[in-house]
């Protein structure tokens, strides 16, 4: 069976761990608990009749207390760049992290995940900002780890992009 390493990267508290938890165990917790270091999970997905083992590396979020170690991306087939749609600043952090990844390992397939789509009242990302991402050729998916909306799609889109590279 094919095995692919996927990294979850983004600013702190954007919902990386929650997305993995929703994707792997269908569980969501409102409680925020910082990830320290790296947490690794696995999930087998079926795509176009083929089974792929996704090894999910959930990296600690980026902020002034912890920086994403781009070296952890080594050996990855792709990554999910997670943004909190209710915090505009997390989009800038995501862009910075992506630059570091490109510096460290070059271009890899990635999907921009605009998480917390259930919080419509607090949503900050305008259509214009999202259109700019799309214009750069970046794939974006709105997700909610809380409701599960878009989560499966995000991982599948990335897996498909990774397999297309092979």
Q: Site residues (CB under 8 A) for another protein?
A: 5, 12-13, 32-40, 55, 57, 61, 63, 65-66, 69, 71-72, 74-75, 87, 122
Which among 33, 53, 38, 30 has a CA at the least distance from the CA of 7? Answer: 38
Output 26 or 71, the one with its CB closest to another protein. 71
CB of 84 to another protein, least distance (A): 10
Cβ nearer to another protein, comparing 10 with 61: 61
Min separation Cβ 4 and another protein, Å: 11
- Give the helix/strand (H/E) hosting 9: strand 2-10
Structure tokens at 15: 């919902």
- Nearer to another protein (CB atom), residue 36 or residue 164: 36
Task: Output the smallest distance, CB 165 to another protein, in A.
Answer: 19
For residues 149 and 153, give the distance between their C-alpha atoms in angstroms, rounded to a whole number.
8
d(CA 1, CA 150): 25
CB of residue 161 vs another protein: minimum separation in angstroms?
A: 21
In this complex, which beta carbon is closest to another protein, that of residue 141 or of residue 144? 144
Torsion of the alpha carbons at 152, 78, 63 and 19, rounded to the nearest 10: 10
What's CA 117's distance to the chain center, in Å?
14
């Amino acid at each position: 069976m094919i095995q692919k390493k996927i990294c979850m990267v983004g600013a702190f508290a954007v919902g990386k761990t929650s997305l993995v938890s929703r994707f792997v165990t269908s569980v969501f917790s409102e409680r925020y608990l910082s990830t320290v270091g790296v947490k690794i999970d696995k999930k087998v997905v079926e795509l176009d009749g083929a089974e792929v083992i996704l090894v999910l590396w959930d990296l600690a979020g980026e902020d002034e207390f912890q920086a994403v170690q781009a070296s952890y991306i080594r050996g990855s087939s792709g990554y999910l760049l997670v943004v909190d749609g209710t915090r505009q600043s997390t989009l800038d952090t995501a862009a910075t992290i992506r630059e570091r990844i490109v510096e460290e390992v070059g271009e890899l397939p990635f999907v921009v995940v605009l998480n917390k789509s259930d919080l419509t009242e607090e949503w900050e990302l305008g259509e214009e900002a999202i259109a700019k991402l799309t214009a750069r050729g970046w794939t974006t998916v709105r997700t909610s780890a809380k409701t599960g909306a878009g989560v499966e799609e995000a991982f599948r889109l990335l897996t498909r992009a990774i397999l297309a590279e092979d």
